[in-house]
Structure 1
Amino acid sequence: MFNVCPGLDHLYPSLGLAWALRNAGHEVVVATSGVSVAAAANAGLAVRDVSPGADFASIFPRTGSNEDRARLMRERGMAMTESLETPDVILEKFSRVSDLMLDGTLSLAREWQPDLIVYSRLQGTALIAARALGVPAVEHGFSFLREGNLPRRFLPYLAPLYERTGTPVELPEVTALYFAPDYMMHGEGEGLTMCSVPFHGGGTVPDWAVEPKRRPRICVTLGTVVPHVTGASSLTKVLDAAAETDAEFVLALGDNPDLGGAELPSNVRVVGWTALNMMLWQCDAIIHHAGCATTLASAHAGIPQLALPQGADNWINAALIERTGLGLSRESEDVDAGLLNTLLHDEGLRASARAASAALAKEPGPDQLVARLVTLAERK
C-alpha cells in the first residue's frame, strides 16, 4: 500500500516505484486524497480516496497578500536550510493532514492487509497503520534531504492519533528510501537509494512541441505549490529579461496563472497544465523554483537550469544545482538578459548538464529495489 499526502509533489516521486512493483507482479493500492486521487488513477494504479471532501485548505490557508505568503515561505525555507530539518510548524500541520486521512487509511489497511506500506514523507497515517498491522513501513523521500530522525520527531505530534485508534504510540519498523544518488543528498541518515523516474502526469503532446524550433526554447515553471500560494510575481524580472532575449519562453504555471497583470512579451508562450516530462525534451534550458522533482527531471533531460529559490528546501536544492554542475542559482531580482544568454549559450554549462544526465542514467532505477522491498515485507 502506498500512503501519500494530498499533493502532486508528494505523489509523483513515488510512482516509478509503484509501477516497478506492479511490473514485478505485486499488487499495489494507493491510499491518498485530494488532487492525488485522480492523478494516481490516471497513472493506471488502483486508488482509494481515504478522506473525500476533507478540508485540507483550512490547514494551509491563503491568508494575507501574495507578498506576505512569499515572505513566510522564504523564512521557513531559510530555517530549513540552516538546520537541515523539517520545521516543527510543518510537522504540526501534517499531523492535522494525517488526522483527516487516518480513519479511511486504517480502514483500507485492515481490509486490504498490505505486506508493506510505502509512504510519502510527512504522511503520519502510514506509521500508525503499519504499527497497528505489524508490517514494515518505507519512508519514500521526495527531497535531497536525509532526515534520519524525522519519524522520531514526528511521533509526538501523531500521539493523539495513535491513541484515538487504540494503537501503541510506537514507531513501526521504518526504512528510509532516497530517490536521488548519494552524492546529491544532504543531511544525516541511512537508507536505500534509487534513481528517480521523472513523472509529472500524462497527456497529449501539443502541436508546438513537435514543430521545428526557430530559436532556443526556455521552460519557465514554479511547480505545483508556489503559483497557488504566492502567485507568479517572482517572475517579473524574468519576463522583463525575456523581452530582450532571442529565445522562446514557455510559461508553464498551470491553468489560470496569477501574473499580477503583467504584460507578456511576444516571445512568451503561456501554456496550461502540461506534464514537465513531456516538455523538457524540446527545451534548451529551464528556469524554476528549485523544487526537487523539477531539479531532477531537468537533470535527467540534460539541460542547464536557473534556480530561483522560493521557499521550503529550495535553497538546499539551488546549492546542489551549482555544486553538481546542473546550472546556476540566483535570486529573482538578479535576473537579466545577460544571465539568460549565459544559461542558453555557455558551452561549459551545457556540457556539464549533459554529463550530469549521463551519470544519472547509470544509476539503478526503482526496478533494482523491488527485491530489497520484498525482503522487508517477508520479515513481518
Structure 2
Amino acid sequence: MRVLFNVSPGLDHVYPALGLAWALRTAGHQVAVATTGVSVQAAVGAGLTAYDVAPGADFSKIFPKKGTPEERAAAMRARGAEITVSEETPDFILQKFGEINDLMADRTLEFARNWRPDLVVYSRLQGTALLTARALGIPAVENGYSFLREGNLPGRLLPHLAPTFERLGVPLELPTVQPVYFAPEELMRGEGQGWTMRFVPHHGGGVLPEWLAAPKERPRIVVTLGTIVPGVAGVGSLRSVLDAAEGLDTEIVLALGDQVDLEPLGPLPANVRPVGWTPLNSLLPTLDGIVHHGGAGTTLASAHAGVPQLAMPYGSDNWINAGIVETAGVGFNLQPEEITPAVLRALVEDQPLRKAATALAENLAAQPGPDAMVPRLVELAGVR
C-alpha cells in the first residue's frame, strides 16, 4: 500500500504524524510526505521521503506579525478564549489555512497523481488532502494533533477551499474522511466519532550533551514555550517564573530554542540553564516537572513520560489542554504571574501529583499503538 502524508508547515503538525508513518513503514508499506517549510527537513530527519510542495512560499504574509509582543499575546489569548468556549477551530483560522492550502495545492495534487497513493493521511487543517483524495477517489485520514474532536471540521474547512477546488477542476465535495484521535476518549473534548490511537511522542533526533547524559545532582524542571509562542508573544512573561525559581534547590532548564532573544528576561538566576534546540523527548525522561505553554503535543508527551506539569496557556487550544492537566490531577493550570516558589516546589515534591502522573502514563501506555491502526487503514483503503 502507498500512503501519502500531507502535512501543514510546522513542527506541531508533522511530529504527531510520525508514529503512524513509521508504523506503516515497519509493516512494509510505502510512505511519502508532501509538505513544505520546516516540516520537510523534520520528515527527512525522521528517515522519511519528503516532497516540498511549496518551495519558496512566504507564509509570513498570511500570518503577519502586527503590534508589540504584548499586543500579539493579547490577540492569542482572545482567540484561545473563543476556542475554549466553542470547542471549535475559529473561522479565522480556517480562512488562513485556506490560503496556506492554496499555495500548496498544485504541487500536492501533481505529486499525488504521479505517485498514486492508496490513502492520504493529513494534519487536521491540511485541506489539500481533501482535494487530493477527492480527485483520486481515495479515502482521507485526519491525523489528530489536539484534544478536540471536531466531526464537522472537514465540512467547515471545505468552503474556504472552494477557489482552489475550482481552479484545479476538482468537484467541491468531501472524500471519505476517517478521523484518528491521538488520546483516549476520556481525555478528548468536543463532538465527533473517530478511531483512537496511542500517541508516539517525537521531537526530532539529536546528540545528547554531557550534562543531559550524566546523572542529575538535584531535581530538574524544564521551562518551554514550544515552537510558536516565543516568536509571536516573546518570552518576557517568563520573568516571574524565573523569579519564583531563584534560590530553589532545583535545576531549571530554559529550553526556548536557538533563535529566541533572552534579553527581555534580564539576568538569569544561578540555577537556570539556558539551552538551544533540545528535543523534548530527550529531556522528558530526566525531568521531575515541566512548565509549558499548554500545547497539545507537549501536554500529551509529558503525560506519556509521567512528568507533573504546570501549564500556562497562551492561546489557541491551550486553555483546553491546561484544563485537562488540572482535571486529570497531573499538574497545575496557572498564568506566569501566579507562579510562586511554593508552586514550583509542589511540582517536584507533591506525592499525590506524582502518583496521578504515573497512573496516567501507565494508562496511556496500555492504549493500542500505531501498529494496531495499520490493518484498519489497509481495510479502509481497500488494498489487498
The verdict on a shared fold, with TM-score over 0.5 as the criterion, is yes
TM-score (norm: length of structure 2): 0.98
Amino acid at match of 1:378: G
1:306 matched to 2:310? yes
CA–CA separation in structure 2 for the residues paired with 1:307 and 1:258: 22
Q: What is the aligned counterpart of 2:147 among 137, 140, 144?
A: 144
CA–CA separation in structure 1 for the residues paired with 2:17 and 2:281: 15
Which stretches of structure 1, 4 residues or longer, exceed 6 Å deviation after superposition?
none
CA–CA separation in structure 2 for the residues paired with 1:196 and 1:292: 11
Q: Which residue is 1:297 aligned to?
A: 301
Is 2:331–2:353's contact at 8 Å kept on the other side of the alignment?
yes
Aligned 1:334-345 pairs, distance under 5 A? 334-345=338-349
Task: Map Cα deviations across residues 95-153 of structure 1 (whole Å, 9 max, x no partner).
Answer: 00001100110011000000000000000100001000000000111000000000001
CA–CA separation in structure 2 for the residues paired with 1:136 and 1:125: 13
Is 2:308–2:330's contact at 8 Å kept on the other side of the alignment?
yes
Structure 2 residue matching 1:28: 3-state secondary structure: strand
CA–CA separation in structure 2 for the residues paired with 1:325 and 1:104: 46
Give, in angstroms, the shift of residue 213 of structure 1. Answer: 1.4
Give, in angstroms, the shift of residue 379 of structure 1. Answer: 7.0
CA–CA separation in structure 2 for the residues paired with 1:332 and 1:159: 42
Is 1:248–1:268's contact at 8 Å kept on the other side of the alignment?
yes
Give, in angstroms, the shift of residue 261 of structure 1. Answer: 4.5
CA–CA separation in structure 1 for the residues paired with 2:224 and 2:170: 43
Task: Map Cα deviations across residues 294-330 of structure 1 (whole Å, 9 max, x no partner).
Answer: 0111111111000000100000000100111221111
Q: Which 5+ residue runs of structure 2 have no aligned equivalent?
A: none
Q: Which residue is 2:274 aligned to?
A: 270
1:317 matched to 2:339? no
Q: CA, structure 1 residues 379+189, in 2 after alignment: closer, same or farther (shift >3 Å)?
A: farther
Task: Pick which of 324-333 and 93-102 moved more.
Answer: 324-333
Is 1:325–1:356's contact at 8 Å kept on the other side of the alignment?
no
Q: Which residue is 1:40 aligned to?
A: 43
Amino acid at match of 2:292: H
Amino acid at match of 1:272: G
Q: What is the aligned counterpart of 2:184 among 181, 184, 187?
A: 181
Structure 2 residue matching 1:244: 3-state secondary structure: coil
Q: Which residue is 1:226 aligned to?
A: 229
CA–CA separation in structure 2 for the residues paired with 1:261 and 1:25: 49
Structure 2 residue matching 1:13: 3-state secondary structure: helix
Q: Which residue is 2:371 aligned to?
A: 367
Is 1:217–1:248's contact at 8 Å kept on the other side of the alignment?
yes
Give, in angstroms, the shift of residue 244 of structure 1. Answer: 3.1
Count of residues in correspondence between the two structures: 380
Is 1:325–1:352's contact at 8 Å kept on the other side of the alignment?
yes
Q: Which residue is 1:29 aligned to?
A: 32
1:126 matched to 2:129? yes
Q: Which 5+ residue runs of structure 1 have no aligned equivalent?
A: none
Q: Which residue is 1:93 aligned to?
A: 96
CA–CA separation in structure 1 for the residues paired with 2:377 and 2:55: 30
Is 1:117–1:136's contact at 8 Å kept on the other side of the alignment?
yes
Identity rate, percent: 60
